[in-house]
């Protein structure tokens, strides 16, 4: 394929006072500002692999990203998780329920 999806990210920083600790905290919010070539990319994928395949892959990624965002992993753990997922999403999705949820201990395989 000779087309790529370009994602433009944005970031805001905000300081807030934490009354419990008497400390000002810097809160960073990251978000997607725009996506370019996304529709064209999906059309090419659909023509090449079929709509069922594309739909299945999007469902895998949505499930994974939803769980990853809420798991409170550190950067290294998240990077390892992303690598494992994008290497073989179908195999990885079987273990998605093993990902920690908020306020749960992190399994040893992610440490």
pTM of the complete model: 0.45
Co-location of 69 and 35 in the same domain: no
List, as own/partner pairs, every contact residues 38-42 make where C-beta atoms lie below 8 angstroms and the sequence separation is at least 24, other chains included.
38/5, 40/3, 41/1, 41/3, 41/4, 41/5
The mean of the pLDDT values for the chain is: 77
CB 92 within 8 A of CB 64: yes
| pLDDT tens, residue by residue, 68-101 | 777 777 778 877 877 777 777 777 766 665 655 5
Co-location of 108 and 55 in the same domain: yes
Co-location of 32 and 55 in the same domain: no
Could you give the number of structural domains in the chain?
2
Range of the domain at 9: 1-48
State the pLDDT confidence band at 19, using cuts at 50, 70 and 90: very high
């Amino acid at each position: 394929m000779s087309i790529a999806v370009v994602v433009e990210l944005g970031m805001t920083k905000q300081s807030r006072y934490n009354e419990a600790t008497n400390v000002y905290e810097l809160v960073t919010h990251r978000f997607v500002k725009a996506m370019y070539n996304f529709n064209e990319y999906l059309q090419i994928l659909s023509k090449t692999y079929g709509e069922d395949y594309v739909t299945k892959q999007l469902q895998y990624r949505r499930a994974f990203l939803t769980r990853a965002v809420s798991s409170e992993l550190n950067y290294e753990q998240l990077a390892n998780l992303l690598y494992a997922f994008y290497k073989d999403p179908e195999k990885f999705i079987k273990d998605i329920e093993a990902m920690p949820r908020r306020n749960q201990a992190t399994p040893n395989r992610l440490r």
